[in-house]
Amino acid sequence: MRADVQGSRTRPAAVAGLFYPRDPVRLQTEVLELLGGAAPSSTAMPKALIAPHAGYVYSGRVAGAAFAELRVDAQTITRVVLIGPAHYVHVDGIAVPRVKNFETPLGRVLVDTEARSQIAPLEFVTQTDAPHAPEHSLEVELPFLQTTLSSFQVVPLVVGDAPPQDVAHLLDQLWGGAETLIVVSSDLSHYHSYETAQRLDLATAQAIEKGDWVSLGSSEACGWLAVAGLLIESQRRGLEALRLALCNSGDTAGSQDRVVGYGAWMFAKAE
C-alpha separations of 53 from 3, 119, 220, 258 in Å:
27, 25, 15, 17
CB 248 within 8 A of CB 261: yes
Dihedral pair phi/psi, residue 126, rounded to 5°: -115, 135
Helix (H, G, I), strand (E, B) or coil at 205: helix
> Rounded to an integer, what distance in angstroms lies between the CA atom of residue 240 and that of residue 243?
10
- Rounded to two decimals, the pTM is 0.95
Count CB atoms within 10 A of the CB of residue 11. 24
Range 2-269: architecture per CATH? 3-Layer(aba) Sandwich (3.40)
Which of 152, 174, 202 shows the shortest CA–CA distance to 83?
174
Under 8 Å CB-to-CB from 5, ≥6 apart: which residues?
Answer: none
Alpha-carbon dihedral sign for residues 121, 122, 124, 125: negative
In tens digits, what is the pLDDT along the chain, a chain of 271 residues?
544 444 469 999 999 999 999 999 999 999 999 999 887 777 788 999 999 999 999 999 999 999 999 976 788 999 999 999 999 999 999 999 999 999 999 999 999 999 999 999 999 999 999 999 999 999 999 999 999 998 999 999 999 999 999 999 999 999 999 999 999 999 999 999 999 999 999 999 999 999 999 999 999 999 999 999 999 999 999 999 999 999 999 999 989 999 999 999 999 987 6
